[in-house]
């Protein structure tokens, strides 16, 4: 996968202020406010910044946390996981491997009845759903 490199000025021109805040500055949209929290439409979720395929609807589940949750990425190379020690917490940040945009965080071992016991807690604004035909 070829990495996309853009200047911050180019990202600002491409993204809305809310998209830029989440994708480039690691902000978080308010819980239960995103367009994909309750979506059940079959399809592929792609990065809103670069269009890379990130998650499939088959791996989406209702975690009642306020953000879309997935138990696995589309492909292990689709995302990169980085330590995040912000806000006095120890978490694992999820970024798009293709463009480096912040997507959300992944949590493990919370006891959800999923094949991986992972919860990729992803901001709706970081995604775009491409419905299946």
Distance CA 19, CA 86 (A): 20
Enumerate helices (H) and strands (E) in the chain, giving the number of each.
2, 9
121 included as an active-site residue? yes
Handedness of CA 21, 100, 95, 41 (dihedral sign): positive
**Cα separation, 31 vs 22, whole angstroms:** 13
The one catalytic residue among 47, 50, 99, 121:
121
Q: Which residues are catalytic?
A: 121
């Amino acid at each position: 996968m070829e990495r996309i490199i853009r200047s911050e000025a180019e990202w600002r021109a491409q993204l809305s202020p809310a998209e830029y805040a989440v994708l480039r500055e690691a902000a978080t949209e308010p819980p239960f406010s995103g367009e994909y929290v309750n979506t059940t439409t079959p399809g592929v979720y792609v990065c809103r910044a670069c269009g890379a395929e990130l998650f499939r609807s088959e791996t989406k589940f209702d975690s009642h946390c306020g953000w879309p949750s997935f138990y696995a990425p589309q492909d292990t190379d689709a995302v990169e996981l980085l330590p995040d020690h912000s806000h006095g917490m120890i978490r694992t940040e999820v970024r798009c491997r293709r463009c480096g945009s912040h997507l959300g965080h992944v949590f493990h071992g919370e006891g959800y009845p999923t094949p991986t016991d992972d919860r990729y807690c992803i901001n709706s604004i970081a995604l775009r759903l491409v419905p299946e035909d």
